[in-house]
């Protein structure tokens, strides 16, 4: 082509599923532009083609009103016969997809700077009610100065709505939000999810939802979490995992609601907080531990005091007892200390006192009973244990009780407190796992929910609440897996793929029955289109599920070349878990 409208074609910049992108010259103002051509006849037929073209022209005109430093400006839209085209700002640079493919690793500051601009651009468009619908690295250009531009505002809906038209795949759903891939109404939060997928890929060099076919990709987007950032990139800066967890949340209400919210968290990672203070830490200190509470510090000091006192008594009494005459047990020992008020002979020589446990001991005094000191220590420990238990400091109780029992293994009180504290700690752990399992279930993370609930059931197999949510999570997973099979089943009919169709069947009788019906359908009809809706699941047991759904099957009859409704009504399939896969074992 030499010209498109008034624009003179200079060269081809690229080719897409629906047309070609040209570099061209605008003769009126002598500037270079980019022109994207769109052939709607590649994806639509008859009246649908004209309707899609009209809608595109309307949306491109709306997007043409956007004026932002990080959005590729739309200058003009036009039409020549059956070809529609859009004239845009020409950006000299490379797509983000090309940069990711080069395996370049971005710093935290670079990521923050890049996404700050992209989020600002999306926020600007969203304020005007314009949703992009196809945010992905190929639609983000980086110019020679490192400045990002989002392109294809006003174009993306065409690609999204024709993803599987006429048996062709126009683009990939890898960057789409869960609500977008299942055809629900979307809003600006869908673009936020897509931007999160780009962020994940920028950090790791791989997409968060990868598979060999579109059906499995869609299943993962709806049901599975991406591989943890720490598993894919070991040196990922702390904090990015939390950001990705929120931006890729399955439910829109759990995501960042605007790009501005995402930017705030990214900026916190890019620069140290102004509220962070540097402290001198002793070399012997271990990093990463939480500071002890005042109560815990008191327990440690008490224990250390008891150890020091006990050691002092042993060290002092050991040599002293050798030089002290044995005292008859028949004579009551005097325990009062001699002082200035004593009735003893004032001229008598004052006995030499020797220190014992911080006190002085005269010649007529007895040595304090070591059992008494031990009893005092046990009583003090008992009070500490009781106080900590009442304060629900069960970890502190456990540590102190273990310390006491290491010295006095037969201490029944310490043993009782240890048992009770361990039970409380165990109950708290189970309660936390149960809350986590329920929270994961409510957020649609059914695999994580099962893992948390299993921790509860491993300790208490009859736990009613844990068993209830485990059943709910297992059923939700089963429904998701069966929906994937139904979609594969539908596509197999549409593509006349007999092998794929029979692959989902787990009964020889049903396989032969379905084979005969499918062969007759494929031999007599073309352009088969099967629509499945309103699925109802009856879980007969954990390994058997009955699915009732509405089915509309239309096709082009070969003989008459007319479109026919081959089937319209309800169908019932019975699925059975065979190994790790669900199979169709009965067709009603």
pLDDT in tens, 139-191: 999 998 889 999 988 665 543 333 333 333 334 689 999 998 888 889 999 99
What does residue 547 show for φ and ψ, rounded to 5 degrees? Answer: -120, 125
Contact between residue 18 and residue 156 where contact means Cβ atoms under 8 Å apart: no
- Does the pLDDT of residue 524 top 80, yes or no? yes
How far apart are alpha carbons 62 and 77 in whole angstroms? 11
What confidence category does residue 255 fall into, taking pLDDT thresholds of 50, 70 and 90?
Answer: very high
How far apart are alpha carbons 70 and 150 in whole angstroms? 6
- Does the pLDDT of residue 201 top 80, yes or no? yes
What confidence category does residue 268 fall into, taking pLDDT thresholds of 50, 70 and 90?
Answer: confident
Quote the pLDDT of residue 18.
64
Residues constituting the chain: 588
- Does the pLDDT of residue 50 top 80, yes or no? no
How far apart are alpha carbons 140 and 151 in whole angstroms? 6
Sheet holding 544-557, edge to edge: 525-541, 544-557, 563-578, 581-587
Quick one: tokens of 471?
């059943």
How far apart are alpha carbons 33 and 231 in whole angstroms? 43
Quote the pLDDT of residue 436.
86
> 3-state class of 29 per DSSP?
coil
- Does the pLDDT of residue 320 top 50, yes or no? no
Sequential DSSP letters for 209-260: S--SSHHHHHHHHHH-PPPPHHHH-TTPPTTHHHHHHHHT-SSGGGS-SSHH
Average pLDDT value for residue range 362-369: 48
Tell me the percentage of the chain whose pLDDT exceeds 90. Answer: 32
What confidence category does residue 372 fall into, taking pLDDT thresholds of 50, 70 and 90?
Answer: low
What confidence category does residue 353 fall into, taking pLDDT thresholds of 50, 70 and 90?
Answer: very low
Q: Flag the least confident range among 13-22, 107-116, 542-551.
A: 13-22
β-partners of residue 575 are: 545, 584
Average pLDDT value for residue range 547-569: 91
534 closest CA partner among 545, 547, 546, 524:
547
Catalytic, 411? Answer no
Quote the pLDDT of residue 46.
57
Q: Flag the least confident range among 84-88, 245-249, 391-395, 533-537.
A: 391-395
> Model confidence over 275-291: pLDDT tens digits?
333 333 333 333 333 44
Quote the pLDDT of residue 296.
43
What confidence category does residue 412 fall into, taking pLDDT thresholds of 50, 70 and 90?
Answer: confident
Greater confidence (372 vs 367) lies with 372
Greater confidence (41 vs 56) lies with 56
Q: Flag the least confident range among 372-376, 519-523, 565-569.
A: 372-376
Residue ranges of alpha helices (H) inside 506-586 are 508-524
Maximum average pLDDT range among 11-15, 353-357, 564-568: 564-568
Greater confidence (508 vs 294) lies with 508
How far apart are alpha carbons 254 and 262 in whole angstroms? 13
All domains of the chain in start order, with CATH: 3-89 (3.30.200.20), 93-270 (1.10.510.10), 358-461 (no CATH), 478-587 (3.10.450.50)
- Does the pLDDT of residue 526 top 50, yes or no? yes
Quick one: tokens of 328?
């008859």
Sheet holding 148-150, edge to edge: 93-95, 140-143, 148-150
What confidence category does residue 370 fall into, taking pLDDT thresholds of 50, 70 and 90?
Answer: low
Average pLDDT value for residue range 553-572: 91
Q: Which residue of the set 134, 231, 439, 534 is catalytic?
A: 134
Quote the pLDDT of residue 427.
80
What confidence category does residue 124 fall into, taking pLDDT thresholds of 50, 70 and 90?
Answer: very high
Q: Flag the least confident range among 60-64, 111-115, 294-298, 500-504.
A: 294-298
How far apart are alpha carbons 424 and 38 in whole angstroms? 67
> 3-state class of 577 per DSSP?
strand
Quote the pLDDT of residue 189.
95
Angle at alpha carbon of residue 567, lines to 563 and 571, rounded to 5°: 155
Quick one: tokens of 355?
């220190």
What does residue 527 show for φ and ψ, rounded to 5 degrees? Answer: 50, 45
Contact between residue 47 and residue 27 where contact means Cβ atoms under 8 Å apart: no
The whole-chain average pLDDT of the chain stands at 78
C-alpha to C-alpha distances, 51 to 104, 120, 168, 194, nearest whole angstrom: 43, 33, 20, 27
């Amino acid at each position: 082509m030499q010209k498109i409208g008034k624009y003179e074609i200079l060269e081809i910049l690229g080719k897409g599923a629906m047309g070609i992108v040209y570099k061209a010259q605008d003769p009126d103002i002598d500037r270079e532009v980019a022109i994207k051509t769109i052939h709607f006849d590649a994806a639509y037929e008859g009246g649908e083609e004209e309707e899609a073209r009209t809608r595109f022209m309307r949306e491109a005109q709306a997007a043409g009103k956007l004026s932002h430093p990080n959005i590729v400006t739309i200058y003009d839209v036009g039409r020549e016969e059956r070809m529609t085209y859009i004239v845009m700002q020409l950006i000299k640079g490379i797509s983000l997809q090309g940069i990711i493919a080069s395996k370049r690793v971005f710093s935290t500051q670079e990521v923050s700077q890049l996404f700050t601009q992209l989020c600002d651009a999306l926020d600007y468009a969203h304020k005007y009610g314009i949703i992009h619908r196809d945010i992905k690295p190929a639609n983000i250009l980086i110019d020679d100065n490192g400045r990002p531009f989002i392109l294809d505002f006003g174009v993306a809906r065409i690609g999204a709505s024709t993803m599987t038209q006429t048996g062709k795949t126009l683009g990939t759903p890898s960057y789409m939000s869960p609500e977008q891939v299942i055809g629900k109404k979307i809003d600006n939060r869908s673009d936020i999810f897509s931007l999160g997928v780009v962020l994940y890929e920028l950090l790791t060099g791989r997409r968060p939802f990868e598979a060999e076919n579109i059906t499995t990709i869609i299943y993962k987007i709806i049901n599975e979490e991406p591989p943890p950032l720490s598993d894919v990139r070991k040196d990922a800066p702390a904090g990015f995992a939390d950001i990705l967890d929120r931006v890729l949340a399955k439910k829109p209400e759990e995501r960042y609601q605007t790009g501005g919210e995402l930017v705030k968290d990214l900026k916190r990672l890019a620069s140290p907080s102004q509220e962070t203070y540097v402290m001198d830490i002793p070399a012997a200190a271990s990093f990463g531990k939480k500071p002890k509470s005042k109560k815990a510090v008191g327990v440690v000091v008490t224990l250390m005091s008891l150890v020091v006192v006990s050691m002092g008594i042993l060290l002092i009494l050991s040599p002293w007892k050798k030089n002290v005459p044995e005292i008859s047990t028949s004579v009551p020992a005097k325990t009062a200390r001699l002082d200035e008020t004593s009735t003893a002979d004032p001229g008598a020589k004052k006995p030499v006192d020797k220190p014992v446990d911080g006190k002085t001991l005269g010649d007529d005094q007895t040595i304090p009973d070591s059992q008494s000191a031990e009893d005092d220590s046990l009583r003090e420990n008992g009070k500490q244990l009781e106080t900590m238990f009442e304060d629900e400091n069960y970890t502190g109780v456990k540590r102190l009780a273990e310390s006491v029992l290491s010295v006095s293994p037969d201490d029944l009180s310490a043993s009782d407190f240890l048992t009770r504290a361990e039970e409380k700690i165990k109950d708290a752990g189970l309660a936390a796992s149960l809350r986590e399992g329920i929270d994961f279930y409510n957020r649609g993370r059914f695999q994580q929910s099962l893992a948390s609930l299993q921790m509860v059931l491993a300790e208490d197999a009859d736990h009613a609440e844990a068993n209830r949510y485990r059943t709910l999570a297992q059923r939700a997973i089963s429904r998701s897996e069966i929906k994937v099979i139904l979609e594969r089943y539908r596509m197999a009919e549409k593509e006349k793929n007999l092998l794929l169709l029979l692959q989902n069947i787990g009964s020889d009788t049903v396989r032969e029955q379905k084979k005969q019906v499918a062969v007759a359908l494929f031999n007599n009809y073309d352009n088969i289109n099967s629509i499945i809706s309103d699925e109802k699941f009856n879980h007969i047991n954990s390994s058997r599920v009955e699915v009732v759904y509405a089915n509309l099957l239309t096709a082009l009859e070969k003989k008459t070349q007319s479109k026919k409704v081959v089937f319209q009504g309800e169908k019932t399939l019975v699925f059975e878990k065979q190994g790790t896969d669900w199979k169709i074992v009965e067709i009603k």
